[in-house]
Amino acid sequence: MNPFLNLFMSYCELIENLISNGYLKTPKIISAFKKIDRADFVPDDIKHEAYVDAPLPIGYGQTISQPLTVAFMIEHLAPERGDKILEIGSGSGWQTAILAEIVGPAAAGGKIFAVELIDKLISNGYLKTPKIISAFKKIDRADFVPDDIKHEAYVDAPLPIGYGQTISQPLTVAFMIEHLAPERGDKILEIGSGSGWQTAILAEIVGPAAAGGKIFAVELIDKLFEFGRNNVEKYKFLSEKRAEFFHSDGSLGLLEQAPFDKIIAAASAAAVPQAWKDQLKIGGRIVAPVLNSIFLLTKKGENQFQESEFPGFAFVPLVSDQD
């Protein structure tokens, strides 16, 4: 027999046991359990144990909870479509995904707020600045990933968004924004806006148009230009003129809107393009990947830059019409 069929049958059997023993009762909760496969939320080396009714280790001294316990707690929580739910200790994300399936799409008003990811970024020293932390808490990463992987939104890893591109790892986004040091009223050029998540975080930080701040987001890939733009408008940042999107080659910067207080890039080039340096104000900062490092450039004079390198990162390559 096909081994994958055995796994599927085991999952069905686990759920049937929870139903027959009275732990799963409510149709919408049973439906969510059936749809959200526990095997997608355990480490690869223990996937063969995913359908055992027991807690399993997921690292850092933590576990994915016993299915019986999750069923019991969700039944007593009694979540409804459109609910706004705060989940403390999201861990593997399995319970998060089950709850998200139950509360329904954003249009129904429902949302799950998972705080553990942000707390880890703070405790590990990647998020430090209060206004940046506040923006991370307000701008939900789940609003910026494709529907079929929303259950992975709170994993600290890059996720595919199509066309060979990713939504960056939260740790990396936190690290880069902290080094960019955005301020209220800043005019920021973002190269490779992708999903729009970083765009929205920055737009939250720079404040309303009345404060003078704005994010100029550049994306070359047609479908991602639309995807990111639509995601950012979920927070009304386009309507409020906090952000504007440009379908163009980011390697050339955005000369017609220059100069900028800050420039940030989400994809790696062989070197920081001269156009970016030219379009930066004196005193401004560029934070950008170069190969497998993140570089911070501070403009000290017209052709003078102070440079810092932070190695050990991985990025998708910068897409350019100049290649």
Which sequence positions are flagged as catalytic? 168
Query: Which among 279, 92, 308, 52 has a CA at the least distance from the CA of 180?
Result: 308
DSSP SS3 for 44: helix
Cβ-proximal residues to 127 (8 Å cutoff; 6+ apart), any chain: 118, 121, 133, 136, 174, 178
* 208: exposed, middle or buried (Cβ count in 10 Å: 0-12, 13-18, 19+): middle
How far is it, in rounded angstroms, from Cα 118 to Cα 136? 7
Token couple for 225:
């230009």
Report CA torsion sign: 240, 139, 292, 180.
positive
Per the DSSP assignment, residues forming a β-bridge with 122 are: none
Cβ-proximal residues to 287 (8 Å cutoff; 6+ apart), any chain: 176, 177, 179, 180, 262, 263, 264, 265, 294, 295, 296, 297
> What is the separation of C-alpha 163 from the centre of its chain, rounded to a whole number of angstroms?
17
How far is it, in rounded angstroms, from Cα 92 to Cα 18? 20
How far is it, in rounded angstroms, from Cα 264 to Cα 180? 7
Task: Tell me whether strands 111-114 and 84-87 are parallel, antiparallel or unpaired.
Answer: parallel
Tell me if the bond preceding 259 is cis, omega within 30° of 0. Answer: yes
* 120: exposed, middle or buried (Cβ count in 10 Å: 0-12, 13-18, 19+): middle
